[in-house]
Amino acid sequence: MSEPVLEIRKLCVDYGLGDEAVHAVRDVDLTLHRGEVLGLAGESGSGKSTLAYGLTRLLPPPGVISGGEVIYHPVDGPPVDVLSLSPARLRDFRWAETSIVFQGAMNSLNPVHKVSTQLLDVIRAHEPGTTRAARLARARDLLRLVGIAADRLDSYPHQLSGGMRQRVMIAMALALEPQVVIMDEPTTALDVVMQRQILGQLAELRERLGFAVLFITHDLSLLVEFSDRIAIMYGGRIVEEAPAGELYRRALHPYTDGLLHSFPALRGPRRELTGIPGSPPDLRAMPTGCAFHPRCPRAFTPCDAELPLLGPPGDDDPGRAVACWLHPAAAAVPR
Amino acid sequence: MSIPTSSIEQVIPKQGAMAQPSAAARRRRWRFVANGKAATGLALVAGYLLLAVIGPWIAPYEPDARSNELLQPPSAQHWFGTTHLGQDVFSQILVGARGVMLVGLTAGVVATVLSVLVGVTAGYLGGLSDDTLSALSNVFLVIPALPLIIIVTSTITDAGDLVVALVIGLTSWAWGARVLRAQTLSLRRRDYVEAARATGESTWRIIGFEILPNLTAVIASGFVGTVIFAVMSEITLAFIGISSVSSWNWGTILFWAQSQQALAQGAWWWFVPAGLAIALLGTALALINFGIDEFVSPRLRSAGRARVRTADGHVVRMRVGFTPVLARPATLPPPRPRPEVVTPQRKEADR
Amino acid sequence: MTYLLRRLAFYLFTAWAALTINFFIPRMIPGDPVKSLISRYQGQLSTDAIKSLYVLFGLDSHDSIWDQYVDYWKQLFHGDLGLSFTAFPAPVSDMIGDALPWTLALVGITTLVSFALGTGLGVLAGWRRGSWMDGLLPATTFLSSVPYFWLGLVAIAVLAGPGSFFPSSGGYEPGLVPALDTIFLGSAVQHSLLPAATILISSMSGWILSMRNMMVTVAAEDYITVAHAKGLPERRVALNYAARNALLPNVAGFALSLGFIVGGTLLVEIVFSYPGLGFLLFRAVGAKDYPLMQGIFLVITFSVLVANLLADVAYLLLDPRTRKEG
C-alpha cells in the first residue's frame, strides 16, 4: 500500500458546547493513501458529512472539533497539522491541497457570478503572481478536462444544467491540482445516466492526475464499484473498514451486511433484499454499548454494555478492521 | 417608517419549519413564546392593551380639563407636566392609548383579512385571477400610502377613529397580500396539498385546512407589520391635524405641542412622553416580528454561546468557514513543532 | 429587456390607476363640500375659484361622469393641475414646481444615502454575527420605531435654537434670493443638515436590520461554504459572495418600500418648515386646498413610480437571472 496523504486520528466533532453538545463524530481513525479512492458510507445522520466538513474545518456553528488530529502529508516537505493552522494559513492550505465537491450541485455555485469569475478567483487567490490571461487559459483547460466547451466560461450558473454545474464544480476542485479531493454525495442530485457519466469521467481524471479521493455517499453500491477501500460509519463511528471487493464479498459487521442487502447485485449471484429494520440512532440519546445493537439481528451479551473497538478481526484478514463483538480479536473501548 | 424586508419571503420556499403540519410543528408553535424577543414584545404589547382598557379610568385628570398651572414641568401633581391650557399631559397619554390601540388593531384586522383573501386566492387559483389580483396589490403597494391616506381622510369631513382605521386598513393590505401570494404558491406545490387535491377535496377545504394553518406565521407577521404602520399613520394624521382633534391620541398631543410652539418655550415634557410611548409600542411590535422571523427561519436564531476558547488558548467567535478546534486528546503524541505549509508558489515551481 | 418593458407597462398602469383614484376621491364626498368651503372662507373666494371648485368636485353636473373624466385627462395633458384657492389664482403646477426640487434633493439624497449606509452596516453586522454589533440591534430597532417627525422635534429642541449652527426651520436664510451661487447653496445645505440627519437616523436602522438578516441567511448557503473551502480571502467571501447575494432581496425591498419611506420623510419637512412638497401638503391640508393636495399626491406618486423603475433597472443589473428570463 502506498504512503498516506491524509491521516485522521481520534477525530471528535460536536454540535454545541458543554453539556448540550451532541457528539456527531467520535474517535474516528481513518487514513487516505496517495492516489486511492476511499469510500465512506452510512445512513443519513451517521456523521459521514460531519466528518468531511470537520476535517476541513468547514463545519458551520454550532459545530466544533472537540479533539483529534488531522495530518496532511504534502508531496515534499514536512507533514501539516490541519487543525492547528491559523486562519490565514488554513486559507492558503485549502483548495491548494484538499478541495471539496459538495453535495448540492445546484447551490454550490454563486448565482450572481459567471463561471469564469468563480474559476478565476480561486486561482488568483492562491497564485497571485499569475496573469489574467494565464488564469483564463487554465480555466479553459479545466473545463475541457471535464468535457465542457470553453465558451461556457461566460455562462451564469442558472444557464447550466445540473450535470454541467457539477462538472464545473469538479473542474474547479482540480484547478490547483490538489492531492486530496473530498466528494460529498457529488452525484446524488443527478439522474442515473448523468451519475454514471460523471463517475466514469472522475475515474479517468484520477488515473491521469493521481489525486486521492474521499468519496462520501449513502449509496454503498456506488462505492463497491468505484472505490479501492470502503469505510462504513454508524452513529458517528467507523464500524468497518476493508478493501472494496472483500467488503462486498464478505461483510464482517452486521450493519455492513444489512447495507449490502439493501440494494440488488448487478452481477454475480442473486441475494435476498432485506434492508435494516429500525432507524438510525438519535445522536442525543445514543444506546449504551455498540450503537447498532438495538437494530442488530445478531446482538448478544456484551453488545448492549461494552463498546467494541475498531481493530483487526483476526490474523487471516489483513487490511481489514471491524468494531464488533462477533469477531474475537475485538477489544472494548477503554472508558 | 420603512418596512424591513422580511426574511420569511426568502427562506420559506426551501426549508422545513413549516413544510409539513405535524404534531412536532404544532408543539414548536408554542415554543415561539419562549423566544426572548417575542416574549418581551408580547409583554409590552399586553401592557399597552391593558392601558387601552383601563387608561381612561385611572387617568388622574380629565384630559381636556384646564387648570391654572400653565406649562408646568413634571411634578408630583402632574407627572408629565401641563400644557399651555394647564391640561395634564400624563392623563392625555393614558386616555390616548385607547384610540391608538383601537385604530392600530382595527386597521390591522381589516388589512390582514384583505391580504389573506387577495393573497391566498391569487396564489392558489393562479391564472387570470392571479394576474388581476397581483396587479391590484402591486398598484396599492407602489402608490405612496401615507399621502393617499392623508388625502382621503382630509376629504372626509370630521373623520373619527373608526373611519381612520378603515382608510388605513383599506390602503395597507398590499404588502401582506404579496408575501402571502408567494407563500401560497410554494405551498400549493407541496406534496400533501397535491395529495389532498388528488383525493378530490374541495378547494376551500384545502385552503382552510391545508394551506392557511401553514401560513399562520406569515399572516401573524403581516398583521403585526400592519399594526405598526397603522399606529404610525394614525399618529401622523393626528399630528398634522387631519383626524378630529376632539378625541385624544398621542398624535393629538404632539399636534398641540407643535402648534403651541412647545419647542420654542422649552416645554420638552409636552412632546417627549408621547414620542417615547409611540417608539416603545413600535419597538414591542417589531420585537414580536423578529421573534416570528427567527421562529420561521432557524438560521436567524442566535446560536447560543458565540465565543469559545480554542485549544491554543485564544477565544474566538464561532463563524462559518472556520470551525474552532477545542481540544486535543491526551493520548496522542505531543504536538510536533509547527510544520511548514507548502505555499502555492512553491507548488507552482514544481509544475 | 422584456422584463423592463413589462415593468414599464405595469408602472403606466399604476399611474393610470393613481390618476383615476385621484379623479374619484373628490366625487365621493357626500353633501356639498363647496358650500362648506365657501362658508369656511366667508366670502374670500372669488367667483372663478368657486366655479373651479364645482368642476373639481364634479358638481357642475351638466356633464356625465364620463365627460368629466375625459376633461380631467385633457387638463392633465396640458400640465394643468388646477388652481390653488389658498393662493388663488396661482396654478397648482407652479406651486409644486417651486417645492419639488427641495424635496427631490432632501428626500432623494437622504433616502439613497440611508440605504447605502444601512446596507453597508448591515453587511458588517451580519458577517460578524455574534460580535459587539449585535448588542446595538435593540437600539436600532428602537430608532426605527420612532416617528420621523418626532425625532425631528427632538433634534430641533436639542440642537437648534438661538445661536446654534443648525437653523430650526426653512430651506435657506430668509432674505436670500434663490440662485445657484455659493452663498445660497451653502445656506441651503446648512438648513438641510438637521432634517437630513433626522431622516437618516430613523430610516437607516431598517436597512441595517434587513441587510443583517439577509447576510445571516445567505451565510448558510452552500456557495458561501464553497467560497471558504476555496480559501478565498475573507473580504472576497464577505463582499463578492455573501453581500452580493444578500443585496438582491434588499434592493427589491427598497423598491417596494419607497412609497412608505417617502410618506414618512415628507413629514420631516413639516417639522422643519422645509419648503418642499411635504410642507406644502401640510399647508394644503390645513386650508382644505383640494386642488393643491391632489396635485401633490399625483407628483409624489409619479416620483415614486420613476424611482421604482430606476430600482428595477438596478435590480436587473444586479441579478443575472432576471436578465435572461425576463
The domain that contains B226 carries what CATH number? 1.10.3720.10
Q: What confidence category does residue B236 fall into, taking pLDDT thresholds of 50, 70 and 90?
A: confident
The whole-number average pLDDT for the span B294-305 is: 68
**In contact, A62 and B318? CB cutoff 8 Å:** yes
pLDDT at A139: 93
pLDDT at C258: 81
Please give, rounded to a whole number of angstroms, the shortest distance from the CA of A111 to a CA of chain B.
Answer: 15
User: C249 vs B263: CB contact, 8 Å cut-off?
Assistant: no
Residues of B in contact with C297 (CB under 8 A): 147-148, 151
C114 and C12 in one domain? no
User: B304 vs A20: CB contact, 8 Å cut-off?
Assistant: yes
Q: What confidence category does residue B328 fall into, taking pLDDT thresholds of 50, 70 and 90?
A: low
**Residues whose CB is less than 8 angstroms from the CB of residue C252 and which lie 6 or more positions away in sequence, other chains included:** B5, C315
pLDDT at B6: 42
Count of domains forming chain B: 1
pLDDT at B109: 94
Q: What confidence category does residue B350 fall into, taking pLDDT thresholds of 50, 70 and 90?
A: very low
The domain that contains A184 carries what CATH number? 3.40.50.300
Q: What confidence category does residue A104 fall into, taking pLDDT thresholds of 50, 70 and 90?
A: low
Report the alpha-carbon distance of residue A121 to residue A110 in Å, rounded.
Answer: 12
What is the average pLDDT value for chain A, to the nearest integer? 86
Q: What confidence category does residue A328 fall into, taking pLDDT thresholds of 50, 70 and 90?
A: low
pLDDT at C116: 93
Least confident residue range of A211-220, B47-56, B172-181, B238-247: B238-247
Residues of chain C with pLDDT under 70: 1, 29-33, 36, 40-45, 56, 58-63, 85-88, 161, 163, 323-326
pLDDT at residue B21 tops 60: no
**Residues whose CB is less than 8 angstroms from the CB of residue C20 and which lie 6 or more positions away in sequence, other chains included:** C69
Query: Shortest CA distance to B306 belongs to which of C132, C120, C238, C125?
Result: C132
Question: What pTM, to 2 d.p., does this model score?
Answer: 0.82
pLDDT at residue B29 tops 60: no
Report the alpha-carbon distance of residue C231 to residue A96 in Å, rounded.
Answer: 8
Residues of B in contact with C300 (CB under 8 A): 144, 147
pLDDT at residue B9 tops 60: no
Asked whether residue C84 is domain-assigned, the answer is no
pLDDT at A182: 93
Q: What confidence category does residue A268 fall into, taking pLDDT thresholds of 50, 70 and 90?
A: low
More confident residue, A84 or C68: A84
Query: Shortest CA distance to B18 belongs to which of B224, B278, B213?
Result: B213
pLDDT at residue B8 tops 50: no
Q: Residue B125 CA to chain centroid, in angstroms?
A: 28
Which of A146, A177, A208 delimits the end of a domain? Answer: A177
Residue A299, strand partner residues = none
Asked whether residue A70 is domain-assigned, the answer is yes
A67 and A19 in one domain? yes
A184 and A283 in one domain? yes
Count of domains forming chain C: 2
User: B144 vs C237: CB contact, 8 Å cut-off?
Assistant: no
pLDDT at A214: 93
Domain that residue A276 falls in = 4-97+180-287
Top-confidence range, A25-39, B57-71, C28-42, C311-325: A25-39
Instruction: Summarize pLDDT for A196-244 with one digit per residue, the tens.
Output: 888 888 888 888 888 999 999 888 888 888 889 999 999 889 999 999 8
Domain that residue C115 falls in = 92-322
Percent of chain A clearing pLDDT 70 (strictly above) = 93
Nearest to A125 among C230, C248, C319 (CB): C230
Report the alpha-carbon distance of residue B185 to residue B177 in Å, rounded.
Answer: 12
Residues of A in contact with C240 (CB under 8 A): 110, 113, 121
What is the average pLDDT value for chain B, to the nearest integer? 76
pLDDT at residue B17 tops 50: no
A185 and A75 in one domain? yes
The whole-number average pLDDT for the span B251-267 is: 81
> Which DSSP string corresponds to C111-173?
HHHHHHHHHHHHHHHHHTTTSGGGGGHHHHHHHHHS-HHHHHHHHHHHH-STT-SS-SS-SS-
pLDDT at residue B306 tops 80: no
Residue A25, strand partner residues = A13
A 59-98 → C contacts, CB under 8 A: 60, 87, 90-96
Which of C77, C105, C130 delimits the end of a domain? Answer: C77
B 306-325 → A contacts, CB under 8 A: 306, 308, 311-312, 318-325
CA-nearest residue to B313 within chain A is A84
**Residues whose CB is less than 8 angstroms from the CB of residue C264 and which lie 6 or more positions away in sequence, other chains included:** B1, B2, B146, B232, C147, C148, C202, C203
pLDDT at residue B302 tops 70: no
Instruction: Summarize pLDDT for B140-171 with one digit per residue, the tens.
Output: 888 888 888 888 888 776 667 888 888 889 88
pLDDT at A124: 92
Q: Show the cell assigned to A21.
A: 453538545
C178 and C49 in one domain? no
A274 and A188 in one domain? yes
Residue of B300, B342, B343, B345 to mutate for A, most A C-beta atoms under 10 A: B342
User: C232 vs A158: CB contact, 8 Å cut-off?
Assistant: no
User: C231 vs A109: CB contact, 8 Å cut-off?
Assistant: no
Instruction: Summarize pLDDT for B172-213 with one digit per residue, the tens.
Output: 888 888 888 888 888 887 888 888 888 888 888 888 888 888
The domain that contains C307 carries what CATH number? 1.10.3720.10
